[in-house]
Amino acid sequence: MAPFIIESRFNGPPESGNGGYCAGLLSERLGRPVEVTLRAPPPLDTPLKVTETRDGARVHHGETLVMEARPGAPSAKAPASPGLEAARKGPAHYPGPAEHGLNTCFVCGPSRAAGDGLHIFAGRLEGTDLVASPWVPADDLAADDGKLRERFLWAALDCPGAFSLPDTGFVLLGRMTARIDRRPAPGESLLVIGWPIGAEGRKHRADTAIYTGGGERLAQAEQTWIELKPS
């Protein structure tokens, strides 16, 4: 398969790609639902070798395995949408730049300019274990058919899972699988939610979903997050 490049715009940490975006790019390339495991930080602006395997693909930077995909799809049932009105209250409970940790993340970075980052600021909804944020996708996220590229839906599904986790230190995405039921068009009023599932040691599990303002579920993801050891 042809190599691909993760452009610097689509960073998570400052020097590597947003995990959900990178996983979605690989899923998009394969054209089928997959579970993607991130093995190393995906480098930016660098050609990455993509090798198709019997049941998925591996992505390398030189000799380093960056990520690999195998068949997979979310199996859990997502909750009903909390609704746009509730989701609009989420960003009020979202960490500001001083507390955030990844201020320039393409998906959730509060320092990204409007229209450059996705500006998904998923904060806790009072009285629930959900975090939520409204989201209106920009025009430049569309494919030739006028619908959002799959990679940007994977990206949108990424960070809310981390912010749903209670009482954790700094976490990075380790594994993610997503199912896209319908690709929306730019400009639609959407909401993204996340909720915690459980933890085992430094491994934390969370699920996320995207809905229309009318409550239609568009996409869902299951994730494993790895809590970094204190330095």
Neighbours of 230 (CB within 10 A): 6
Q: Which two tokens stand for residue 175?
A: 């594994």
User: In CATH, what class is 84-227?
Assistant: alpha beta
Of 136, 114, 151, residue with least CA distance to 19: 151
- Crossing angle between the packed helical segments 19-30 and 150-164, to the nearest 10 degrees: 140
Neighbours of 212 (CB within 10 A): 16
pLDDT digits (tens, 9 = 90+) for 131-150: 999 999 999 999 999 999 99
Mean residue pLDDT of the chain comes to: 96
CA atoms within 13 A on the CB side of 227: 16
pLDDT digits (tens, 9 = 90+) for 90-110: 999 998 766 777 999 999 999
Domain boundaries, the chain: 4-71, 84-227
pLDDT digits (tens, 9 = 90+) for 55-100: 999 999 999 999 999 999 999 999 999 999 999 999 999 987 667 7
Q: Which two tokens stand for residue 126?
A: 């009072």
pTM: 0.97
Strand partners, 211: 191, 217
Q: φ and ψ at 166, to 5 degrees?
A: -85, 135
